[in-house]
Chain A
Amino acid sequence: MTRMFFSACLLALPSICAAQTLRLDNLDRLAAKAAETVNITLDGSLLQMASRFISDDSDADAADVKKLIAGIKGISIRSFGFKNAGEYLDADVEPIRSQLKDETWKRIVQVHSKTEGDSDIYLKTVAGRLAGIALISAEPKQLTVVSIDGPMDLDGLSKLGGNFGIPKSIRKKAEEKAK
């Protein structure tokens, strides 16, 4: 009986790990100090809706974006811009870093710069498959944390055309709709 219980737990483990997403809520208190704040939380249903909207665009870049986000279950972003350096502490980012110490997360890039701050990219693998991406960019006056739940082609994202990697047609449409 005990053996069966442990076997069941082991079988369920990958799905439990896959369900755990990075929690960024503790960063929200920095919004009070920040001069600029970006708070984006897109769950699976919202991504599906946005994806349907993209399908209306007929250019090749739109198809690339749609393909890129096809397997994603959620995207969370917190970005804070500060007027002066030192307005946030390493301790503010520590809860995020401690979540990334989980064995499913692996740091693939770590860049340390005295003038430009630290940048880290983590990949999450579950049962040998890419299950998430996390990015921490801790610059002196800007802190950005990105959490993507599900596989995303990083190379594909950085190769997208247009301004800042977003196809111009989609960006223009989004800006028009936002007005």
Chain B
Amino acid sequence: MNELEDRLRSALAREQPSLDFTRRVLAQVQHSRQDRVNSWKPWAAGCVAASLLIGGFGLAGIEQRRDREEVQAAHSQLVRALEITSTKLQRIQRKVDGINQ
């Protein structure tokens, strides 16, 4: 019994850590933290790049659509302007012709 107790006492005895224990633990912690950062970095960069790309294309599309609408509106206005001017000129021409006859 005494022998067993001695063995247990010896096995569970408090032991001083080795001199480089703290350094090794800290190095391990640092390493695992670095691994975590390294693992999300490419994902984040990819997400940011994709967002920028989508945003850029979206803005270009909106700009292009706005330009097209402006051109179409200007064209419609021009046609209307020519139409009104032409109608009025023709009417005045008819009046002048009527007076001359």
- Residues of A bordering B, CB below 8 Å: 38, 40, 42, 46-47, 49-54, 65, 68-69, 75, 77, 79, 109, 111, 113, 116, 119, 121, 135, 137, 144, 146, 148, 154, 157-158, 160, 163-166, 170-171, 173-174, 177-178
Interface pair B99/A178, CB less than 8 Å apart: no
| Residue in chain B with minimal CB distance to A174 | B79
The interface-forming segment of B5-13, B26-34, B47-55, B81-89 is B81-89
Question: Are A178 and B88 CB-contacts (below 8 A) given A75-B81, A119-B95?
Answer: no
Interface pair B84/A77, CB less than 8 Å apart: yes
Since A121-B89, A165-B89, A178-B76 are in contact, a sample of 4 more A-B pairs with Cβ atoms closer than 8 Å, ordered by chain A residue number, is A49-B75, A137-B91, A144-B88, A165-B82
Question: Are A158 and B90 CB-contacts (below 8 A) given A40-B77, A50-B75, A50-B77?
Answer: yes
Q: A-B contact count, CB below 8 Å? A: 112
Q: Is the interface of B mostly helix, strand, loop or mixed?
A: helix
Pick the residue among B70, B72, B88, B96 that contacts A146 (CB under 8 A).
B88
Residue numbers in A under 8 Å from B99 (CB-CB): 111
Interface pair A50/B96, CB less than 8 Å apart: no
Interface pair A42/B88, CB less than 8 Å apart: no
Report if B66 contacts A (CB, 8 A).
no
Q: Interface range on chain B: under 10, 10 to 19, 20 to 34, or 35 or more?
A: 20 to 34
**C-alpha gap A119/B98 in the complex (Å):** 14
- Residues of B bordering A, CB below 8 Å: 70-72, 74-93, 95-96, 99
Residue numbers in B under 8 Å from A38 (CB-CB): 80, 84
Interface pair B86/A157, CB less than 8 Å apart: yes
**C-alpha gap A135/B96 in the complex (Å):** 15
Interface pair B82/A144, CB less than 8 Å apart: no
Residue numbers in A under 8 Å from B92 (CB-CB): 109, 111, 119, 121, 135, 137
Pick the residue among B74, B81, B91, B95 that contacts A53 (CB under 8 A).
B74
Interface pair B85/A119, CB less than 8 Å apart: no
| Residue in chain B with minimal CB distance to A135 | B88
Question: Are A158 and B71 CB-contacts (below 8 A) given A50-B77, A166-B83?
Answer: no
Residue numbers in A under 8 Å from B76 (CB-CB): 174, 177-178
Residue numbers in B under 8 Å from A54 (CB-CB): 75, 78
